[in-house]
Amino acid sequence: MAMLNWDELEKQCMSCRKCSLCEERTNVVFGVGPRDAEVLFIGEGPGENEDLQGEPFVGRAGKLLDDMLEIIDLSRKKNIYIANMVKCRPPKNRDPLNTEQDACIDYLRNQVALIKPKIIVCLGRISAMRVIKEDFKITQEHGKWFEKNGVWTMALYHPAALLRDPRRKPEAFEDLKILQAKIREVCEHTY
């Protein structure tokens, strides 16, 4: 796929019918945040609230994500961009199929090429397996840095996983501190 500029990319994505997730979507969830962000967060795919509102992470998990981000002075309104692996909601919130991820991944690639982030943070196992490595183990490798094409990349527990298992919150808090330290090291205008 040729690289598109933001306007072209958003326009194509909003009318996309490249996979069957287009059938049941209410809205395409393209992404949110400043387009010059140095830190890019990548989730899995829209849930019900996201599908209805057209914005990533706006349900209960999204509220937890915003609260976590605020601890280290990050905000979608100010200094980070948030996107998902797939832009349309998988039915009943099932994991996106590999075929659906394959169909959608070029939009994310193009977003990465336009944003040129210094840091990428995968939210949960599904995006880490796609972005970092196929055999990524979230319980063992969350909060660890990987260099992917010159970009510092790590995974956090997915906020929905933290809602299901709040005992993991202290580890997630440590991971946020690790992220904050890396931002201070490599980012120029995030803080």
Q: Which residues bind ligand URA (CB under 6 A)?
A: 43-47, 50, 56-57, 61-62, 84, 123
| Residue 104 binds which entry of ligand URA, ligand SF4, none, CB below 5-8 Å type-dependent | ligand SF4
Instruction: Indicate which single residue of 88, 112, 129, 131 sits in contact with ligand SF4 (rule: CB under 6 A).
Output: 88
| Residue 157 binds which entry of ligand URA, ligand SF4, none, CB below 5-8 Å type-dependent | none
Is residue 168 exposed (0-12), middle (13-18) or buried (19+ Cβ within 10 Å)? middle
Cα dist. 127→12, 24, 26, 43, 134 in Å?
A: 22, 22, 23, 6, 10
Build a one-symbol-per-residue string for 13-52: x at contacts with ligand SF4 by CB under 6 A, - elsewhere: x--xxxx-xx-----x------------------------
**Rounded least distance, CB 45 to ligand URA, Å:** 6
Burial annotation 64-93 (CB, 10 A radius, 16+ → b, else e) = bbbebbeebebebeebbbbbbbbbbbbeee
Contact flag: residue 97 with ligand SF4 (CB under 6 A): no
| Contact (Cβ atoms closer than 8 angstroms) between residue 107 and residue 13 | yes
Which tokens sit at 95? 């994991």
Cβ closer to ligand URA: 85 or 183? 85
Burial annotation 99-128 (CB, 10 A radius, 16+ → b, else e) = ebbebbebbbebbbebbebbbbbbbbbbbb
| Residue 57 binds which entry of ligand SF4, ligand URA, none, CB below 5-8 Å type-dependent | ligand URA
**Rounded least distance, CB 139 to ligand URA, Å:** 18
**Rounded least distance, CB 70 to ligand SF4, Å:** 29
Cβ closer to ligand URA: 79 or 84? 84
Cβ closer to ligand URA: 118 or 125? 125
List Cβ neighbours of 189 (8 Å cut-off, separation of 6 or more): 38, 79
Of residues 117 through 156, those in contact with ligand SF4 by CB under 6 A are none
Q: Where do contacts with ligand SF4 occur on this chain (CB under 6 A)?
A: 13, 16-19, 21-22, 28, 86-88, 100, 103-104
